[in-house]
């Protein structure tokens, strides 16, 4: 069986060990995992037929693809060619846009952070309206890198400019700052099953991302918390995803966002769960 593991070049360099882990675990299951770099892919329509070429050459279709880059158009293109993609294009389209994710899940009634959506050009005016601490996020941000705290009573024009430069050309969401504990929870999900939950605590500032220095520990969900997670799971056909919650002041879960291209470093740091093996076995079951 053949599989494509799709990355952009910069992420492939950063995740080299993780990619090798996929290749090693795949070989144990008779899956030949091939790294595919987006920059070397060419795809589109020729003579009314969909095509994909790699490194300038025709390439035989895989049995499935694991897309570890944010590119809904590519995921949808492969699906239209009959290739099963994990995560699928619907998950990619919704979950890689913070505004669309909140909009989509509002119907479930789960508790979530109040969120306002703005076009990029309206970002400055949106923040200037805030009288209390607020968080601005690029809708397509990943890993906490385009998330900024704005405090009207402490900020100055230069700081506001830095925030707007930081979000770049992306549209934005603006949320009140919630959770004085500066903790959040990532729940790892494969398919319809919860795999594990990891609590993250910020060492300084308000961001608790592990990649940004947050402390991590394994967390055991209560029955009520499992019910909240399962409500979200029911809305998607996940492959592997991370569902993120802010921990409120009373310890309650407040939905924040979903990571489609979810990282696993902190899970391996605080557990012996082999999430790659579990994911590949799940995919084989789906096929």
pLDDT 10s digits, 168-212? 999 999 999 998 888 999 999 999 999 999 999 886 555 544 444
51 and 154 both lie in a single domain: no
Residues of the chain below pLDDT 50:
208-212
Helices 275-286 and 16-28 meet at what angle, rounded to 10?
Answer: 50
The whole-number pLDDT of residue 206 equals: 53
Residue 271: inside a domain: yes
Greatest pairwise CA separation for the chain in angstroms: 60
In a domain, 19, yes or no: yes
Q: Tally the domains of the chain.
A: 3
- Residue 245: give its domain's CATH number: 3.30.470.20
In a domain, 14, yes or no: yes
Same domain, 153 and 256: no
Q: Are residues 36 and 163 in the same domain?
A: no
Whether residues 189 and 228 fall in one domain: yes
What is the CATH classification number for the domain harbouring 73? 3.40.50.20
Q: Is residue 45 part of a domain?
A: yes
Q: Of 186, 241, 248, which Cα lies nearest the Cα of 217?
A: 186
Domain boundary among 161, 176, 191: 176
165 belongs to a structural domain: yes
Output the pLDDT for position 204. Answer: 58
Could you tell me if 104 and 206 lie in one domain? yes
Residue carrying the six token digits 């549209």: 171
Is 255 inside any structural domain? Answer: yes
Q: What is the pLDDT of residue 208?
A: 46
Q: List the CATH number of the domain containing 156.
A: 3.30.1490
Do 244 and 258 contact (CB within 8 A), yes or no?
yes
Among residues 176, 198, 221, the one where a domain terminates is: 176
Answer yes or no: do 28 and 159 share one domain.
Answer: no
pLDDT of residue 127: 92
Q: Are residues 276 and 197 in the same domain?
A: yes
- Looking at the structure, tell me whether residues 163 and 185 fall in a common domain: no
pTM of the predicted model as reported, rounded to 2 decimal places: 0.91
The domain in which residue 38 lies consists of 2-86
Q: Comparing C-alpha atoms, which of 141, 90, 128, 124 is closest to residue 256?
A: 141
The last residue of a domain, from among 148, 176, 204: 176
**Is residue 91 situated within a structural domain?**
no
**Predicted local confidence at residue 57, as pLDDT:** 94
> Cα separations (Å) of 153 from 84, 128, 160, 278?
51, 11, 12, 48
Residues 158 and 194 in one domain: no
* Chain center to CA of 103: 16
Residue 65's CB is within 10 A of a number of other CB atoms, namely: 22
Asked if 8 and 28 sit in the same domain, the reply is yes
Residues 215 and 102 in one domain: yes
Residues 193 and 274 in one domain: yes
Query: How confident is the model at residue 15, as a pLDDT?
Result: 95
Q: Is residue 92 part of a domain?
A: no
């Amino acid at each position: 069986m053949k599989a494509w593991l799709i990355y952009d070049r910069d992420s492939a360099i950063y995740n080299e060990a993780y990619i090798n882990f996929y290749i090693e675990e795949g070989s144990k299951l008779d899956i030949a995992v091939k790294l595919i770099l987006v920059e070397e892919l060419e795809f589109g329509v020729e003579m009314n037929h969909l095509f994909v070429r790699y490194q300038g050459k025709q390439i035989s279709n895989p049995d499935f693809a694991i897309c570890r880059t944010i590119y809904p158009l590519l995921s949808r293109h492969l699906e239209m060619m009959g290739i099963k993609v994990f995560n699928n294009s619907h998950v990619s389209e919704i979950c890689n846009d913070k505004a669309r994710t909140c909009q989509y899940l509002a119907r479930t009634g789960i508790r979530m952070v109040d969120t306002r959506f703005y076009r990029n050009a309206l970002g400055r005016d949106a923040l200037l309206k805030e009288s209390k601490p607020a968080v601005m996020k690029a809708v397509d941000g990943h890993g906490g890198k385009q998330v900024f705290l704005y405090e009207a009573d402490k900020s100055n024009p230069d700081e506001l400019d830095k925030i707007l430069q930081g979000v770049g050309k992306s549209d934005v969401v603006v949320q009140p700052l919630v959770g004085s504990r500066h903790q959040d929870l990532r729940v790892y999900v494969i398919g319809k099953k919860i795999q594990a939950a990891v609590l993250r605590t910020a060492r300084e500032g308000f961001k608790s991302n592990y990649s940004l220095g947050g402390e991590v520990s394994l967390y055991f969900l209560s029955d009520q918390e499992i019910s909240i997670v399962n409500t979200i799971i029911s809305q998607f056909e996940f492959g592997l995803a991370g569902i993120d919650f802010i921990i409120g002041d009373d310890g309650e879960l407040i939905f924040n966002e979903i990571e489609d291209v979810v990282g696993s470093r902190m899970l391996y740091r605080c557990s012996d769960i082999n999430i790659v093996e579990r994911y590949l076995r799940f995919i084989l079951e789906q096929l």
